[in-house]
Amino acid sequence: MPRKKRQISPSGIYHWIARGINRKDLFHRPRDYDFFLNLTREHASASQVAIYHYCLMTNHVHMLVFTTAIENLIRFSHFLKRKYAYYHSKEYRISGATFERMYRSKSVDREEYLLECARYIERNPLRAGLVKHADDYPYISFTTYSKGLKNSFITKSPAYLSLAQIRAAG
């Protein structure tokens, strides 16, 4: 059965998800997470993809991204998954696939969904019971928003920025 054609988002915003093959762990040690984040940092701007939110769980990754063309997202995804799979296979002496064949990308076409999707991504470690407070999870964009910490590859979400404008006006 052929896969469905990728849905193009009219807003250019996508909820991007990549899972480990058979839900196996992608990340085993802190340096695995760091390697993936460095790849993300390296290729996001080169692919013209802006990262609004991210969360790296042990066996999957969520990102809320913006791009002006679906081809940019495809190129970004291909680079990220290929480079990380090569690293993972070499580091752990594993042969075969690292990721499920295709990444998923859900179109974000309403501001309400943009806020809800960001909230969903940021709450992943809480739902999984990994931490009691999102601030305590190191592989998430939450502290960029909650504490204003610098993150070199995060572009502030327009929904988040509009909330700040509403608060300032009120």
| Token representation of residue 145 | 């928003």
How does pLDDT run across 7-56, given as a tens digit for each residue? 888 899 999 999 999 989 999 999 999 999 999 999 998 899 999 999 99
Domain harbouring 24, CATH code: 3.30.70.1290
Mean pLDDT over each residue of the chain, to the nearest integer: 89
Other C-beta atoms closer than 10 Å to the C-beta of 118 total: 22
Q: Angle CA(96)–CA(98)–CA(101) in degrees, nearest 5? A: 95
Structural domain contains residue 6: no
Tell the burial category of 101 from Cβ atoms under 10 Å away from its Cβ (0-12, 13-18, 19+). Answer: exposed
Alpha-carbon Rg for the chain in angstroms: 16
Q: Model-level pTM?
A: 0.90
Residue 156 is classified by DSSP as P
51 within a domain of the structure (yes/no): yes
Instruction: Cite the beta strand spans of the chain per DSSP E.
Output: 13-19, 49-56, 60-67, 104-108
Domain assignment of residue 67, given as a range: 13-169
